[in-house]
Structure 1
């Protein structure tokens, strides 16, 4: 039973099931789907609000855990020289899609679509890992390189959401961000006093951070991204990304271990709440987002990774031009964060739906990478 349970998580079955359920529901009964999603469910709170404003706090909190662990001694982004090439590739994987999106929009789009440039900037970590495992085998060095890119561009994606996608109907009220700063201050004091549980950090620092962001009209799903880095953790990492260290009983590791299952299965809710797009809604925004993820991610990651190598910051062992090209293709899997940003980028539901369909189409990047990998005879590492 435990093995089957872990396989469901490993192959992102909850998220994909939520996406499929939403697509079927909205195309059979659009009115019923939207009523369920936006009508009050628990008191005044709708299913969409509970998912995007509350549950996604944990999702982005998990991303913050991986970023924090990667940046300490022994982590995959420490020291800086070790991180230069993946960080350069990350910048290519962010700037490339933005340039492709804005360039294509200038040719075939319209000013109304300009704000969607942030949608293709991030990579879906779970789906990227799954696709890379199928393309390279589970222990190939290219996977760790890809996951570093996904973690780093998700961090950039968090910043883009916070800075560039405030609620257009409610201007930013920066005075409320003092509560978020207060939450960070309390988390710092808890760390100084060596609080041995993550709960005070979440219940005091996290709640203050969420209320501050919510009142300031900055997306509150980012609340724990400001708190998690203060959770105590060992001074040195002994495992790579997504590997559990049974010796690590710190509050940071405990938070990840105890809530990772909730997040993995809770992504069914996210898929159900955000992937409800009618097939008739496919439009220009669909192709802008999909092309930006497919072409921009691939070209940006490949070109900047090769530039880093030329500058003297080598790629990992067994990662050459073919592997780097495949990493770029898999990086185009933007499903989760792309859906999230699409919901923030456009208030017009027709355009929003078309953009979300482009995010859903990005799942094809994994299929393309698998086919290209076989054609180029890239050897899998079992």
Structure 2
């Protein structure tokens, strides 16, 4: 139990605290909260929101700022959501890349087949429920909310992992199954964000800049030193690069890649993903949040753990700047997001998981039952962080976005449904 509580204190408290402060602030003084979120940090011509868009969103008080003829404005919200959240998605991308690319990656081979099929159910189920109910409510509602179809597909990997350990116990095979599902869900979510929620018109040439920066970092600071060290046990070239240059070449490549994404029309929060595979990495991984990874001294793992506290602070501000919705914002989008998560997720994961395990005979991990898929589905219905993020990019600021965000916040109810389902289906906890 100590390790579970330690995980809560190192990840969850800051994020939840930011969200709670935002909820209270927005419901006490929505005007000051809105101006805090959209406060202009820097007027410039390179990064940020288009000035005209910001002026409309900020309201009449925008006239009080001297823009200096700039075309763009870097707001507090843009700094967190579009720039610093790239660190969060880079860590998520690192786990996905390890799972797919490494020789013993958790998403490779037959062991990953059933979780991957169940992940598909965890995506299609929420989409079907969300859009189906929206269509049932009428064309006006459907037209207003249909763009938010991806919001309930998200699974908050950290909170789900935490609740899974509480419900099943750290040693239960369902926890590993849930982790594989959540990682695959993250991978699908990153693809959805890139394809279906662009930040502007696609400009392929700017993506070329991102790819070129990542490729150059890999060739000159990873592949070439290792090639020069062939047959040399001391590995002088690799050692020199590591000791003298450290992470800086990859930080520079990351900045260039982020700028390329920002100009390309793909959401810039994904801008660090191309650089992740370029960073030197040992051919082994122990899984997300594994204590053993702290003792791996390859550069990628060292960078990930060095970013732990900065990312947690970023997540505090993410909660603070995105969860501030008034309770009167509850609307159709709230219930559609919530229904997609707490109905679509468990049903989709159960159905597709059963097809994979029984019909396709791919099986389940030893010690895991088919009925455990229902409990896994409820746990995976905790959307929170990623659902909030998708809601912020799916809709323009306004009532529909606020209603969708409220649905993402209400997904915390899945915690209680998970505990109830665990009791109902007599889950036998297995501690490590």
Q: TM-score range by the shorter chain?
A: over 0.9
| Residue aligning to 1:209 | 257
Gapped regions of structure 2 (runs ≥ 5): 44-72, 226-240
- Are 1:191 and 2:222 matched, yes or no? yes
Is the CA contact (8 Å cut-off) linking 2:253 and 2:275 kept in structure 1?
yes
Aligned equivalents of 1:125, 1:18: Cα separation in 2: 18
| Number of aligned residue pairs | 377
Residues 86/265 of structure 1: CA separation in 2 closer, same or farther (3 Å cut): same
Q: Secondary structure at the match of 1:234?
A: coil
Once the two structures are TM-superposed, the CA of residue 233 in structure 1 deviates from its matched residue by 1.3
| Residue aligning to 2:363 | 314
Is the CA contact (8 Å cut-off) linking 1:101 and 1:288 kept in structure 2?
yes
Which is higher, the Rg of structure 1 or of structure 2? 2
Gapped regions of structure 1 (runs ≥ 5): none
Residues 340/198 of structure 1: CA separation in 2 closer, same or farther (3 Å cut): farther
Aligned equivalents of 1:140, 1:187: Cα separation in 2: 41
Once the two structures are TM-superposed, the CA of residue 95 in structure 1 deviates from its matched residue by 1.3
| Residue aligning to 1:158 | 190
| Residue aligning to 2:417 | 368
Map of 1:274-353 to 2, 5 A cutoff?
274-310=322-358, 311-353=360-402
Q: Deviations over 1:75-111 (max 9, x none)?
A: 3223x21211111111111111111111111111321
Is the CA contact (8 Å cut-off) linking 1:198 and 1:231 kept in structure 2?
no
Map of 1:41-80 to 2, 5 A cutoff?
41=41, 44-71=73-100, 72-78=102-108, 80=109
List, as ranges, runs of 4+ consecutive aligned residues in structure 1 with deviation greater than 6 Å: 2-5
Once the two structures are TM-superposed, the CA of residue 151 in structure 1 deviates from its matched residue by 1.1
Once the two structures are TM-superposed, the CA of residue 149 in structure 1 deviates from its matched residue by 1.0
Q: Secondary structure at the match of 1:45?
A: strand
Map of 1:54-203 to 2, 5 A cutoff?
54-71=83-100, 72-78=102-108, 80-108=109-137, 109-167=141-199, 170-189=200-219, 190-194=221-225, 195-196=241-242, 199-203=247-251
Q: Secondary structure at the match of 1:41?
A: strand
Aligned equivalents of 1:198, 1:150: Cα separation in 2: 31
Aligned equivalents of 2:249, 2:180: Cα separation in 1: 26
Is the CA contact (8 Å cut-off) linking 1:105 and 1:288 kept in structure 2?
yes
Q: Deviations over 1:114-139 (max 9, x none)?
A: 11111111200111012112211222
Residues 142/286 of structure 1: CA separation in 2 closer, same or farther (3 Å cut): same
Alignment RMSD? 2.0
Q: Secondary structure at the match of 1:138?
A: coil
| Residue aligning to 1:232 | 280
Aligned equivalents of 1:361, 1:199: Cα separation in 2: 39
TM-score w.r.t. length of structure 2:
0.83
Once the two structures are TM-superposed, the CA of residue 10 in structure 1 deviates from its matched residue by 4.8
Q: Deviations over 1:174-215 (max 9, x none)?
A: 322221121222233132124536623532221111111111
- Are 1:21 and 2:14 matched, yes or no? no
Q: Secondary structure at the match of 1:245?
A: helix
Residues 246/11 of structure 1: CA separation in 2 closer, same or farther (3 Å cut): closer
Q: Which moved more, 1:138-147 or 1:2-11?
A: 2-11
Q: Deviations over 1:239-278 (max 9, x none)?
A: 2332133552111111111112321343111100111111
Residues 186/6 of structure 1: CA separation in 2 closer, same or farther (3 Å cut): farther
Residues 139/201 of structure 1: CA separation in 2 closer, same or farther (3 Å cut): farther
Is the CA contact (8 Å cut-off) linking 1:66 and 1:242 kept in structure 2?
no
Aligned equivalents of 2:5, 2:362: Cα separation in 1: 40
| Residue aligning to 1:242 | 289
| Residue aligning to 2:316 | 268
Residues 8/134 of structure 1: CA separation in 2 closer, same or farther (3 Å cut): closer
